[in-house]
Each structure stands twice: as C-alpha cells, then as structure tokens.
C-alpha cells in the first residue's frame, strides 16, 4: 500500500504529513506489535486513522482488529474513501475532535464518520 496508495490515502496523507493537522506527527502504513498494519497512526495520542474501501463493509476481521487495537489503548477512526475524497474538511474536523490519550473506555465506537446530512451508518460504519 505504501508504494501504491489509493487516491483517498494519498489525499489523507497530504493533510496529515509534516504536522499539517494541528501539529500532530503521523506515520503511515505502520506495523503495530508485529500484528497489524494501520493506514495512519499518531503514537503521541494513540490515534489510528483508517481509509476504508468497500471491502471493509461489515468486515468481522476489522471488528476483531479494532477490538484488539483498542485493547492496546488506541482509538480508531475509520472513514470511507468517498468521504475522504468528497468531504475532507469533515474528516479533518473529526480527526481534530478525536479524544486524546485514549483507552478503550474513552475511545468509544471506532467509526466516527462524517456522513452527509440525511445519511447514517451502522455500528461498523456501513452506510444505511
């Protein structure tokens, strides 16, 4: 993925890199505990941002992965590629508003999703 990012990952990385978003330092395609690779992570605040395509709709593997990562103290924000490409301002606002120094108890649901008005998402972030 690092060598061939999606358009959404490329756009999100442009916003996150070089401390462009609130001075936060991000790493991309980072291995966590030799177990999972995350799209973007800010270790200072234990915050993970994932850019998801349709293969992530109702993915049980993603649910297990998120539970494990949250157990390690990370907060996971998942955004659909379409949201990143069409609503980058909303995505950036959601990242800025994310809780800092998270635990599984303070993180909440791993999918705050800035959907356009009138749309909603289920607990896995899938549009309804």
In this prediction, residue 59 carries a pLDDT of 75
Domain boundaries, the chain: 7-107
End-to-end Cα distance, the chain: 28
**pLDDT in the model for residue 60:** 85
Confidence at residue 4, expressed as pLDDT on a 0 to 100 scale: 81
| pLDDT band at residue 57 under the 50/70/90 scheme | low
At 98-109, the pLDDT tens digits run: 876 555 445 544
Mean pLDDT confidence for 50-79: 85
44, 94, 109 from 104: Cα distances, Å: 16, 18, 9
Please tell me the class of the 7-107 domain.
alpha beta
For 14-48, the DSSP string reads: HHHGGGTTTT---EEEEEETTTEEEEEEEGGGTEE
Q: Report the distance separating Cα 73 and Cα 44, nearest Å.
A: 11
User: 10 Å Cβ neighbour count for 37?
Assistant: 12
pTM: 0.75
**Per-residue pLDDT, 53:** 76
Instruction: Please tell me the predicted confidence (pLDDT) of residue 52.
Output: 80
């Amino acid at each position: 993925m690092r060598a061939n990012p999606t358009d959404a990952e490329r756009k999100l990385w442009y916003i996150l890199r070089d401390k462009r978003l609130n001075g936060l330092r991000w790493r991309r395609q980072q291995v966590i505990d030799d177990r999972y690779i995350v799209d973007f992570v800010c270790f200072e605040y234990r915050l993970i941002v994932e850019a998801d395509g349709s293969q992530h709709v109702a993915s049980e593997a993603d649910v297990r992965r998120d539970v494990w990562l949250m157990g390690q103290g990370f907060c996971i924000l998942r955004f659909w590629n379409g949201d990143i490409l069409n609503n980058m301002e909303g995505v950036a606002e959601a990242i800025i508003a994310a809780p800092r120094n998270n635990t599984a108890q303070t993180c909440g649901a791993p999918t705050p999703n800035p959907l356009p008005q009138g749309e909603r998402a289920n607990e896995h972030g899938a549009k309804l």
